[in-house]
């Protein structure tokens, strides 16, 4: 179908929730995507999802083999891929137990339920508030939208879920001001992705964790975007030297298939009991097999190459005068510019490079194994657009 026809049918049959770029993608291979014959370098990896690029051979083999063996069972029965993946994640993160969901928002929903039940079991009914940060993003469901600390997200769908308090990032006094004897958890991203690639200050994070610990308030780290090697360590929290009570992840975990995970520590591992939570698709064997092929490759040696690539990119970006600053961690980078970021993304696309935006920053989330040649070519295009 040519793009005009495709656009017309998309408009006719698909809900109008996405303001898409004027591009149809028919094929992908590694860090390249194709629109028919036309080729693009991919600096977005499907919003940090395709960890090893598109249609990565090892990943395709893993999911194909699993699809030919056992495609789905529901959670009424035991399966190997789910247990294998859970064990690997727990060992990587030094956590105790995993709950599998199908997306980031669902993982955060689970974390919110876990925190509330932890507090309910221990303190009773009235201790349910969760503090989140302004400018955060935690998802699109009613609870995770409510958790998201952006006023622009809190319209149309009233009433939102009660029990969220918003504090300023990098300001411990702001946290203490909204905390009370009703507070059961503090939830945050270490690098705010959708909020503009803002890296949290390590001192603030340490203060938050100390304050939480002293008051038996749980810490929930949302690693939906930052996790699975994206920031140069398996999870970003590892670079902060903290031990969260709950970690959520999704995006890059599945390498291109939908899966989310909630990791729980000694404090939270037994909060859920039979019937208190569940998911029909959760721990789908094909998604788990894909995730295993991703997780297995994210060892220390590989993670070092993520940081190497990041340093290389940041160094090269310094030569582009119009980029005023670069924020981020690992291969999650935000470029501060004076011109309209969306317009820059459109012009990059026209020249053969896909980039993302976050607020008015250009956001780069390339596959973790993108080649240096592709990096060079992509930055060349970006430099041309920002000339």
Ligand X SMILES: *Cc1c(COP(=O)(O)O)cnc(C)c1O
Footprint on this chain of ligand X (rule: CB under 6 A): 103-105, 108, 137-139, 189, 193-194, 222, 224-225, 250-251
Of 193 and 386, which has the nearer Cβ to ligand X? Answer: 193
Question: What is 14-58 written as a DSSP string?
Answer: S-TT----S----EEEBTEEEETTEEEEESSHHHHT-TT-BT-HH
Whole-number Å distance between alpha carbons of 119 and 273 = 15
Whole-number Å distance between alpha carbons of 110 and 104 = 10
Integer angstrom CA distances of residue 135 from 163, 168, 328? 17, 9, 15
Minimum CB separation of residue 293 from ligand X in Å reads 20
Distance of CA 273 to the CA centre of its chain: 27
Of 189 and 269, which has the nearer Cβ to ligand X? Answer: 189
Minimum CB separation of residue 32 from ligand X in Å reads 23
Of 218 and 385, which has the nearer Cβ to ligand X? Answer: 218
Whole-number Å distance between alpha carbons of 231 and 48 = 11
Q: Which residue is nearest to ligand X (CB)?
A: 104
Of 116 and 251, which has the nearer Cβ to ligand X? Answer: 251
Of 105 and 320, which has the nearer Cβ to ligand X? Answer: 105
Minimum CB separation of residue 137 from ligand X in Å reads 5
Of 107 and 375, which has the nearer Cβ to ligand X? Answer: 107
Question: What is 265-310 written as a DSSP string?
Answer: -TTTTTS--TTSS--SSTT-HHHHHHHHHHHTT--HHHHHHHHHHH
For the beta carbon of residue 218, count every other beta carbon within 10 angstroms. 26
For the beta carbon of residue 168, count every other beta carbon within 10 angstroms. 16
Whole-number Å distance between alpha carbons of 66 and 61 = 9
Of 165 and 251, which has the nearer Cβ to ligand X? Answer: 251
Of 147 and 379, which has the nearer Cβ to ligand X? Answer: 147
Minimum CB separation of residue 260 from ligand X in Å reads 7
Minimum CB separation of residue 367 from ligand X in Å reads 17
Q: Which residues pair with 34 in a beta bridge?
A: 27, 39
N-terminal to C-terminal alpha carbon distance within the chain:
35
Question: What is 134-171 written as a DSSP string?
Answer: BT----SSHHHHHHSB-GGGSSSSPSPPS-EEEE-TT-
Closest CA to 136 of 255, 250, 40, 220: 220
Minimum CB separation of residue 139 from ligand X in Å reads 4
Minimum CB separation of residue 47 from ligand X in Å reads 7
Of 48 and 320, which has the nearer Cβ to ligand X? Answer: 48
Whole-number Å distance between alpha carbons of 214 and 250 = 30
Minimum CB separation of residue 19 from ligand X in Å reads 16
Minimum CB separation of residue 191 from ligand X in Å reads 9
């Amino acid at each position: 179908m040519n793009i005009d026809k495709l656009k017309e049918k998309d408009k006719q049959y698909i809900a109008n929730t996405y303001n898409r770029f004027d591009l149809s993608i028919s094929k992908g291979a590694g860090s390249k995507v194709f629109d028919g014959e036309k080729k693009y370098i991919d600096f977005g990896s499907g919003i940090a999802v395709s960890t090893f690029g598109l249609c990565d051979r090892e990943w395709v083999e893993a999911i194909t083999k699993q699809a030919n063996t056992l495609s789905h069972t529901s959670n009424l029965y035991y399966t190997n891929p789910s247990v294998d993946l859970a064990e690997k994640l727990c060992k990587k993160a030094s956590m105790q137990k995993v709950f599998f969901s199908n997306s980031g928002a669902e993982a955060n929903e689970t974390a919110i339920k876990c925190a509330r039940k932890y507090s309910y079991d221990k303190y009773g009914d009235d201790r349910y508030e969760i503090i989140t940060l302004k400018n955060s993003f935690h998802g699109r469901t009613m609870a995770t939208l409510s958790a998201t600390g952006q006023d622009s997200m809190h319209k149309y769908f009233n009433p939102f879920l009660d029990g969220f308090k918003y504090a300023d990032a990098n300001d411990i006094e702001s946290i203490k001001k909204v905390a009370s004897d009703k507070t059961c958890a503090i939830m945050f991203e270490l690098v705010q992705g959708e909020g503009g690639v803002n890296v949290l200050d390590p001192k603030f994070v340490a203060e938050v964790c100390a304050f939480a610990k002293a008051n038996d308030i749980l810490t929930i780290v949302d690693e939906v975007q930052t996790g699975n090697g994206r920031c140069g360590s398996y999870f970003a929290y590892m670079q902060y030297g903290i031990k969260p009570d709950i970690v959520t992840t999704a995006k890059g975990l599945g390498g291109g298939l939908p899966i989310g995970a909630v990791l729980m520590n000694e404090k939270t591992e037994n909060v859920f009991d039979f019937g208190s939570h569940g998911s029909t698709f959760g721990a789908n064997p094909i998604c788990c097999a894909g995730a295993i092929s991703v997780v297995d490759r994210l060892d220390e040696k590989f993670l070092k190459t993520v940081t190497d690539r990041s340093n290389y990119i940041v160094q090269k970006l310094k030569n582009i005068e119009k980029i005023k600053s670069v924020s981020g961690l690992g291969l999650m980078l935000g470029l501060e510019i004076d011109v309209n970021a969306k317009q820059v993304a459109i012009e990059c696309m026209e020249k053969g490079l896909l980039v993302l935006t976050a607020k008015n920053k250009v956001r780069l989330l390339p596959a973790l194994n993108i080649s240096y040649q592709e990096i060079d070519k992509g930055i060349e295009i970006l430099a041309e657009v920002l000339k």
